[in-house]
Chain A
Amino acid sequence: MLPDPSSPPATRGVWSRFRRRPVASISLSFVAFICLVALAAPLVTGPGRFALVHFRPDTIDLGHRLTSPSHEHWLGTDDLGRDLLSRMIHGARVSLAVGLAATFISLVIGSLFGALAGYYGGTIDWCISRLIELVLCFPFLLLVLAIVALFEPSLWTIMIALGLTSWTSEARYVRGEFLRLREEEFAVAARAGGAGDLRIITRHLLPNALAPVLVSASFGVAYAIIVESSLSFLGFGVPLPAPTWGAMLATSEEYLGHAWWLALFPGLAIFSTVIAFNLIGDGFRQALDPQE
Chain B
Amino acid sequence: MTSYLTRRLAYAIVTFFGITIAIFILIHAVPGDPVSMYAARYGPRSLSRAVLQEIRHRHHLDRPLIMQYGWWLRGVLSLDFGPSVMDGVPVIERIGQRLPNTILLNAVSLLLAAVVGIPMGIFGAAGKRRGGSASSATFLLLYSLPTFWVALLLMRTFSVDHQWLPLYGMTSDDYLLLSPAARIGDRLLHMVLPVVTLTLGQLAMFARFSRASVEEVIGQDYIIAARARGVAPGSLLWQHALRNALIPLITLFGLTVPYLISGSVIVERIFQWDGIGRLYIISILTRDYPTVLGLTVVTAVMTLMASVGADLLYAFADPRIRLDGSADAS
| Interface residue ranges, A against B (CB under 8 Å) | 23, 126, 129-131, 133-134, 136-143, 145-147, 149-151, 222, 226, 229-230, 233-236, 246, 249, 252-253, 256-257, 260, 263-264, 267, 270-271, 274-275, 278-279, 282
Contacts and interface: CB of A to CB of B under 8 A. Distances in A.
Contact of B296 (A126, A138, A235): A138
Contact of B137 (A129, A233, A246, A279): A279
A279 B138 CA distance: 11
Contact of B149 (A136, A142, A147, A267): A267
A263 to B, nearest CB: 5
A18 B100 CA distance: 47
B158 to A, nearest CB: 11
B282 to A, nearest CB: 11
B148 interface: yes
Given A229-B146, A275-B140, A275-B141, A141 B153 contact: no
B147 A230 contact: yes
A252 B144 CA distance: 20
B284 A134 contact: no
B50 interface: no
B40 to A, nearest CB: 15
B146 A138 contact: no
A255 to B, nearest CB: 10
A145 B284 contact: yes
Interface in B273-295: 280-281, 284-285, 292, 295
A134 B300 CA distance: 9
Nearest to B281: A234
A139 B261 contact: yes
Given A137-B19, A257-B160, A142 B152 contact: no
Contacts of A267: 146, 149, 152-153
Contact of B258 (A130, A136, A145, A264): A136
Contact of B266 (A141, A147, A222): A141
Nearest to B255: A136
A154 to B, nearest CB: 14
B15 interface: yes
Interface of B: 11, 14-15, 18-19, 22, 26, 30-31, 133, 136-137, 140-141, 143-149, 152-153, 155-156, 160, 257-259, 261-262, 265-266, 269-270, 280-281, 284-285, 292, 295-296, 299-301, 303-304, 307, 330
B39 to A, nearest CB: 18
A149 B284 contact: yes
Nearest to A232: B148
Contacts of B284: 145-146, 149, 236
B281 A146 contact: no
16 contacts: A129-B330, A136-B307, A138-B258, A138-B303, A139-B262, A142-B261, A142-B262, A142-B299, A145-B280, A229-B146, A252-B152, A257-B156, A257-B160, A267-B153, A270-B146, A278-B143
A209 B107 CA distance: 39
A249 to B, nearest CB: 6
A47 to B, nearest CB: 32
A150 B330 CA distance: 32
B124 to A, nearest CB: 14
Contacts of B31: 151
Contact of B140 (A226, A234, A278): A278
B203 to A, nearest CB: 15
Nearest to B155: A256
Given A230-B148, A256-B155, A142 B265 contact: yes
From A149, A263, A270, name the one whose CB has the most chain B CB atoms within 10 angstroms.
A149
B156 A134 contact: no
For B19, B307, B330, which residue has the most chain A Cβ atoms within 10 angstroms?
Answer: B330
A131 B330 CA distance: 11
Contact of B18 (A130, A142, A230, A236): A130
B60 to A, nearest CB: 21
A141 B26 contact: no
B277 to A, nearest CB: 9
Per CB-CB distance, the 9 closest pairs between chain A and chain B, nearest first, are A267-B149, A141-B262, A275-B144, A139-B261, A139-B258, A134-B18, A274-B144, A129-B330, A149-B284
B144 A222 contact: yes
